[in-house]
């Protein structure tokens, strides 16, 4: 992936970004308020660079944390936990099916950004878009989350 158009964001854009992140992921995002925030394009993919690290990316009009962003910022809201049998599928970019989910944040609504973590070590594996409310994700069948970024993909391997 090639990065182009790297620009530091304006204060008004930063405030809008922070408001959206705060409403989805809680007050943990406050720690980036005073950091240097830049936007750029990685191929045709909008990304957000915070202090030289790719910590956010954009899908449609919504900002998502990267897996590295989840680790760096310590985000713990909108989390969906998967069992060990689902890990190999998740890290290969597969969508997350309900039978592999062991728990989900009940506040998750359809189309919300979600963080997929594995249950044994509580480590983030992927970022996705919820297809169901959190309360309905733990079920016997069906697709619950569309995967948009995972450990080992182009965004994960992106270096500045």
- CATH superfamily of domain region 3-72: Pre-PUA domain; domain 1 (3.10.450.120)
Express each pLDDT in 28-39 by its tens digit: 898 998 899 999
The reported pLDDT for the residue numbered 1 is 80
Residue 45 has a pLDDT of: 84
137 and 101 Cβ atoms separated by less than 8 Å: yes
Residues of the chain with CATH 3.10.450.120: 3-72
Does the domain spanning 79-150 belong to CATH 2.30.130.10?
yes
Q: CATH 2.30.130.10 occupies which residues in the chain?
A: 79-150
Which of 12-16, 21-25, 28-32, 91-95 tops mean pLDDT? Answer: 91-95
């Amino acid at each position: 992936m090639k990065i182009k158009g790297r620009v530091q964001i304006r204060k008004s854009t930063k405030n809008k970004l922070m408001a959206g992140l705060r409403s989805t992921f809680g007050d943990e995002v406050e720690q980036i308020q005073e950091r240097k925030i830049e936007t750029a394009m990685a191929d045709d993919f909008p990304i957000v660079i915070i202090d030289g690290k790719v910590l956010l990316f954009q899908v449609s009009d919504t900002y998502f944390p990267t897996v590295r962003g989840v680790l760096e910022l310590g985000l713990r809201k909108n989390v969906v936990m998967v069992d060990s049998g689902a890990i190999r599928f998740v890290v290969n970019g597969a969508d997350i099916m309900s039978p592999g989910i062991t728990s989900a944040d009940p506040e998750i609504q359809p189309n919300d950004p979600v963080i997929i973590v594995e249950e044994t070590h509580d480590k983030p594996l992927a970022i996705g878009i919820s297809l169901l409310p959190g309360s309905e994700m733990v079920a016997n069948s069906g697709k619950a989350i569309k995967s948009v970024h995972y450990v080992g993909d182009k965004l994960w391997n992106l270096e500045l």
